[in-house]
Structure 1
Amino acid sequence: MKEKIIAYNAQFHQVTKSPYGKGDEIGMLNLIDGKSRSAIMSRADPSKVFDLSVDHFVGMPGWFGAGDQPYQIWMTHTPAGEIVDNSMGVTLEANQLISYSGDSISMYTHCGTHIDTFNHFGYNGQIFNEFSAETHLGSRAWDKCGAEKHPPIFARGILLDVAGLHGVATLPPSHAIGEADLKACLAKQDVKLLPGDVVLIHTGQMKLWPSMAFVANTPGLNREGAEFLAKHGAIMIGADNLTLEQTPSAHELNFFPVHTYLLAEAGVPILEMAYLDELVSEQVWEFAFFGACIKLRGATGAPMRPVAMPLAH
């Protein structure tokens, strides 16, 4: 069994060498094992399942700040079109009988509800565990820390309702969520943060979905808040906003200080654009979390459809 390490010896603006070995590509997800999976699944109440993902659709909000493409879907085969094109090389009668439809999609890998992997952000040409772009980045993708390396995540999840703490439906633009907010939420909700937890943060930003107002000046974690959660053993941190973290950045040089800290220093993957409103409305603060991302080899992010089940009393 791997040693349970809950806080890495991270150094400011430097990538961390993983305590799980020079080949490690999953960081704090190493805390998941058969014992921890069995423990949380034995407590799950499957009579109610909360879907924590959003739909993908043309015109959906997303990260377009660096020129990445929005979500697109188009038909590649339609019943009427097949009668004209006959792409399958069959008879007219067969095409009239068999109504064939097919489609393709194009999108940024950080579109909709998704995970951020460790090769998404780093420092000085390196990513988590000192993998370098010079050695591990090819013409198409990284060969280290891609989405295909992420195991399915079965873990205890906790929800911190920061918007509710402040008595608002949606936090003000660019509100910074630091240690004080997080501690106050834990106390108000009578929830303990334990090593191995998935931590989800409710900012109320989904109240703006699917308006493009969703993407601007997001309230979210600052580095202080991220450090508090990581050093208490969070294995993944997510939120209902575009970027997890406060935007615009309060750091003069680092435009994504929480991303770089969690991914490159702390070894904690990120979940973004999670739909948390139903959990909040039913005050489900503790739950069994399950999420598995699409195994896109080498990708810096991948869609995930996470679900939560309340815990049986």
Structure 2
Amino acid sequence: MKIFDLTHTLTNDMPVYSKPNGPHIKKVATIEANGYEETFLSMFSHNGTHIDSTKHMDKNGETLDDLDIDKFVGNAILIDVTNKEKIELEYLKEYEEKIQNCDFIIFKSGWSEYWGEEKYYEKYPTLTIQAATYIAQTPIKGIGMDMLSVDGYDSVDFNIHKILFKGKKLIVENLTNLKALPSEFLFVATPLKFNNADGSPVRAIGIVK
């Protein structure tokens, strides 16, 4: 069995969707001064590699702490969207049988290679309305991607988010290391369990037997 870490490291200068709203990580105790180490962590619920609950943009949606833990674990298929500007319905239909029998769709674009660069925010591939609607109507638990968002960074209406949330799909954003994975694997993205969680950083992993 091999386990792959699909998670970006949280740092004070990491890329964030809302640029002022990044984490603050500070060492507040050291072994030399205090006899132990302790770190102060302050972060937003959508910093780094994170999961969106449907409550993120739907006032009637479910929060992460309302969901059973098995919602965050499942069999995944990897769909390569490298060099695509849009993820079209016709392309997804090529994977229809696998989609109908998996728990998560993970989209590999290679965009994580631009982590820390301005290009990370620009022109990454996004689902079309038709493709998002199709996914929303499938029985899967959610989708993940190695990109900043399921909507373009310049989006003002967040239509793709809203379509997926209407279908009660979880969304995992800012994954990394997807190129190491085979086409099928076990996906795990467990959030912090805090009250009324609209989203949370996760430690996402892929497990290959």
Q: Is the pair's TM-score, using the shorter chain for normalization, greater than 0.5?
A: yes
1:106 maps onto 2:60 in alignment: no
Which among 175, 184, 200 is matched to residue 302 of structure 1? Answer: 200
| d(CA) in 2 for partners of 1:56, 1:247 | 20
Partner of 2:88: 178
1:1-313 counterparts in 2 under 5 A?
A: 47-64=1-18, 67=20, 69-82=21-34, 99-122=35-58, 126-128=59-61, 145-152=62-69, 153-163=72-82, 168=83, 171=84, 175-184=85-94, 186=95, 192-249=98-155, 255-263=157-165, 265-275=166-176, 276-279=178-181, 284-311=182-209
SS in 1 for 2:12: coil
Letter in 1 for 2:207: M
Residues 90-122 of structure 1: CA distance to partner in whole angstroms, max 9, x if unpaired? xxxxxxxxx322111111110111110121102
| d(CA) in 2 for partners of 1:74, 1:154 | 31
- CA positional deviation for 1:80: 4.4
Partner of 1:132: none
Letter in 2 for 1:245: D
Question: What's the RMSD between the two structures over aligned residues?
Answer: 2.1
Letter in 2 for 1:246: G
Aligned 8 A contact 1:203 1:241 in 2: yes
* Residue correspondences, number: 206
SS in 1 for 2:41: strand
SS in 1 for 2:99: coil
- CA positional deviation for 1:194: 2.0
Aligned 8 A contact 1:115 1:302 in 2: yes
TM-score (norm 2): 0.88
| d(CA) in 1 for partners of 2:115, 2:148 | 10
Bigger-Rg structure (1/2): 1
Shift of the 307–80 alpha-carbon distance from structure 1 to 2, 3 Å rule, reads: closer
Letter in 2 for 1:158: I
Deviates most, 216-225 or 287-296? 216-225
- CA positional deviation for 1:195: 4.4
TM-score (norm 1): 0.60
| d(CA) in 2 for partners of 1:115, 1:221 | 18
- CA positional deviation for 1:289: 1.9
Aligned 8 A contact 1:222 1:245 in 2: no
Aligned 8 A contact 1:177 1:219 in 2: yes
Shift of the 127–196 alpha-carbon distance from structure 1 to 2, 3 Å rule, reads: farther
- Runs of 4 or more, structure 1, over 4 Å off, are none
| d(CA) in 2 for partners of 1:302, 1:310 | 25
- CA positional deviation for 1:273: 0.8
- CA positional deviation for 1:202: 1.1
